[in-house]
Amino acid sequence: MAASRIIDISTPLDEHTPAYAGDAAFTRTIVSAIDEDGEGYNLSRLAMSAHSGTHIDAPAHFLARGKTIDQIQPRRWISPAVVIDLPDGTPIGDEQLERQGIRTGDAVLLRANAGRSGEPDHGTPAALTLDGASYLVSRKINMVGIDALSIESDDDPSYPVHKRLLRNNILIIEGLRLTHVKAGRYTLIAAPLLVTAGDGAPARALLVQRA
């Protein structure tokens, strides 16, 4: 059996984790600490948005009767995946997605912002367009992800890209780290926290690459 390489594509949760505008930033508060004599225990309290760091958007995030995180079948968190390398800052439409080897049931991961620092003053991040979302719907994929805080631009407050994807049973994973990942085929493992009635949840995202 061939050996596998595991690549972590998750954004760490710490004081440097970027947050979507208006969303709660991640904070970790020390409740108890081991003293100098080694007595006691370490304990901390976490506060964050359901959409902090690398996270999954469930259909309930934008659809009134959409499934919540806990209602999604666990098998969907392990998926064949294709990482697609795209020019930084370019809107991602159907033309950019055609002939990229996308298969039915794939998790399509868009490496579209690898040259950006993630800071607001480094330009608008590349995002999926509505025709790009429609193309992915036509391919019947499992999930789409991007190396940005959101899969779509904030130009339209009605969030048509999210809704087109989620209405067609395509899950969304945002906040990926793909700078160190080459284009190609992998297996994605991206299990969110099991939040009852959750509209979304942070996830640890790993790519498995056959050697």
Rounded Cα–Cα distance for residues 189 and 74 (Å): 11
Quickly count: other Cβ atoms within 10 Å of residue 119's Cβ. Answer: 8
- The catalytically annotated residue of 51, 55, 61, 162 is 61
Question: Does residue 61 carry a catalytic annotation?
Answer: yes
Q: Cβ distance 102 to 96 under 8 Å?
A: no
210, two tokens: 């056959």
Short-list 31, 35, 32, CA closest to 47: 31
Q: Which residues carry out catalysis?
A: 61
